[in-house]
Structure 1
Amino acid sequence: MLQTSEPQAQLATFGGRGIGYDERVLTPRPWTEAQSLWARELLDELPDGPVLEVCSGAGHIGLLAVSGTNRPLVQVDADLHACVWASRNARAWGVDSDIRHGTMSEAVMVDERFALILADPPYLPSGDVTRFPEDPLTAIDGGGDGLDLARECLDVIVRHLVTDGAALLQLRDVEQGRELVSDAAQRGLTIAESRQFDGGAVLLLRRTTEGRADGSQAGP
């Protein structure tokens, strides 16, 4: 019988602490620590309530954002391997994270609301993914223009963000973010700020209306 071995576990340093992962999961990018630190700054001023991270991968961004706070954390990823590593990392960090395997639209309950939403979707155009053969396809392929999953993130944000909450959406660059301005506005969201970092960009989104993407009213 052919014997197959499990991929070798690896350890990255993130926020001065260890994050476990293997080749089936996107390697944690050091630059994304900036997204976590921005999130932590926002949490000081946002209303009470939990934090949601969609497309969470190994969980490092959300873990660093809430570590040392009393904020409950929910992390969602469509890849089972990512969820396994996110669970391991949460235990290692001593963070009580509710980790959910599934699509972002299905894994979050209709009535759940969050003070902060972190969204870290794949954002490469499908035509570019072959340039990165070491990365899992599902973690980097964002569809034709690279923004298919980012638009799904916008739907989740407008449905589940409290009125005075904030969302941080990770993208390739600020220019890619400009392509989402109209999509955000159609959903009752505005891009309040964009920050470019060495490895990517992060957009700060706020609500402009109390409506949801399906036309009904959001909670408080």
Structure 2
Amino acid sequence: MINTSALVTEGSQLLGSTAEARTLLAHAAGVELSRLALLPGIGEGAVCDYRALVRRRAAGEPVQYLTGRAAFRTVEVGVAPGVFIPRPETEVMTGWAIEQIRKLPNPVVVELCAGSGAISAAIAAEAPGAEQYAVELSETATRMASRNLAGSGVDLRTGDMADAFHELNSGVDLVIANPPYIPLEAWDGVAVDVRTHEPELALFSGLDGLDALRVVAGVAARLLRPGGVVCAEHAEVQAESVVQVFADARAFTKIADHPDLNDRPRFVTAVRAANLAG
């Protein structure tokens, strides 16, 4: 048995992060993070597993892929290679959406570009009673989302968001999306561990990064009832251009941009107009 604190120190010296070392040690030991400090020591097998995880993390593999789990607001979801890892920055947009949903009787909610299903899972947990739908293009991500959303009542589908949910046209209260939005020309500026390990499909979207957001605007215009709302995440440098994307759709009013938890521009919201602009 090796002392828990000593192992955390060992890992943190290599990783430069005590939090990551503790997370990996708890995973290797098979205990909740909150119970790690209660362990008198760690057995030889778990120590070997832990050291292997630390080496892999030091080589750039995301912690969430190593543990198979990612925290998001009030839920924890499964993730794996080929599935986009949910970010804390997206939690603010999701909270905004939940506030809108809670104001409505029998709300109908659609998530586009669902990925792991983290956003839909958080909405189901925090705004129970909503009629929820989600769509994801990647079959790998959809399989993971299906597990994460099991028992939630979310109607999850695999496919292109551009062709999704025609039966809901003009009947949806809220559309939410965290689409890919990194410009292809920004490849070299993306963190190596992200571009090496996370799926390109969930990261990059055309030369200006706005291809998927243009589709989101169009789909939201089709799905939303008059007065319904859409919220969509974007890069911090895209605030003005994304507002323009939604203005160009000629279907929305009250287009506004909002900051994330770091006070950086992060998501746009808009209200479906009663009549489409000519």
Q: TM-score range by the shorter chain?
A: 0.7 to 0.9
2:235 corresponding residue in structure 1: 172
Q: Helix, strand or coil: the match of 1:180? A: helix
Are residue 53 (structure 1) and residue 111 (structure 2) matched?
A: yes
Are residue 85 (structure 1) and residue 144 (structure 2) matched?
A: yes
1:109 corresponding residue in structure 2: 166
Are residue 38 (structure 1) and residue 103 (structure 2) matched?
A: no
Q: Helix, strand or coil: the match of 1:179? A: helix
Deviation at 1:48, TM superposition (A): 3.6
Q: 104-113 or 68-77: which moved more?
A: 104-113
**TM-score (norm. length: structure 2):** 0.67
2:152 corresponding residue in structure 1: 95
Q: Helix, strand or coil: the match of 2:213? A: helix
What does the per-residue CA deviation read over 1:10-53, in whole Å, with 9 as the maximum and x for residues that have no partner?
Answer: 01122233200101111111221212211111112246431000
Deviation at 1:8, TM superposition (A): 6.8
Whether contact under 8 Å (1:62, 1:118) holds in the other structure is no
What does the per-residue CA deviation read over 1:101-127, in whole Å, with 9 as the maximum and x for residues that have no partner?
Answer: 000011222543210100111000012
> Which whole-Å CA distance do the structure 2 matches of 1:109 and 1:9 have between them?
38
Deviation at 1:177, TM superposition (A): 2.6
> Which whole-Å CA distance do the structure 2 matches of 1:111 and 1:72 have between them?
11
> Which whole-Å CA distance do the structure 2 matches of 1:166 and 1:57 have between them?
21
> Which whole-Å CA distance do the structure 2 matches of 1:124 and 1:138 have between them?
10
Are residue 182 (structure 1) and residue 244 (structure 2) matched?
A: yes
Q: Which among 258, 261, 265 is matched to residue 195 of structure 1?
A: 258
1:127 corresponding residue in structure 2: 185
**TM-score (norm. length: structure 1):** 0.84
Percent sequence identity is 27
User: Which 4+ residue blocks in structure 1 deviate beyond 4 angstroms?
Assistant: none
Counterpart amino acid of residue 182 in structure 1: Q
Q: Which among 217, 220, 225 is matched to residue 157 of structure 1?
A: 220
Deviation at 1:192, TM superposition (A): 3.2
Counterpart amino acid of residue 275 in structure 2: E
Larger helix share, 1 or 2: 2
Larger strand share, 1 or 2: 1
Q: Helix, strand or coil: the match of 2:130? A: coil
Q: Which among 74, 84, 87 is matched to residue 29 of structure 1?
A: 87
Are residue 76 (structure 1) and residue 141 (structure 2) matched?
A: no
Counterpart amino acid of residue 267 in structure 2: V
Whether contact under 8 Å (1:115, 1:161) holds in the other structure is yes
> Which whole-Å CA distance do the structure 1 matches of 2:198 and 2:276 have between them?
37
Question: In the superposition, relative to structure 1, how do residues 14 and 165 fare at CA in structure 2: closer, same or farther (>3 Å)?
Answer: same
> Which whole-Å CA distance do the structure 1 matches of 2:94 and 2:230 have between them?
12
Question: In the superposition, relative to structure 1, how do residues 48 and 192 fare at CA in structure 2: closer, same or farther (>3 Å)?
Answer: farther
Deviation at 1:57, TM superposition (A): 0.4
What does the per-residue CA deviation read over 1:157-187, in whole Å, with 9 as the maximum and x for residues that have no partner?
Answer: 10001111111111112x4131133332232
What are the equivalent positions in structure 2 for 1:8-23 lying under 5 Å apart? 10-23=68-81
Larger Rg: 2
How many residue pairs were aligned?
204
Whether contact under 8 Å (2:243, 2:256) holds in the other structure is no
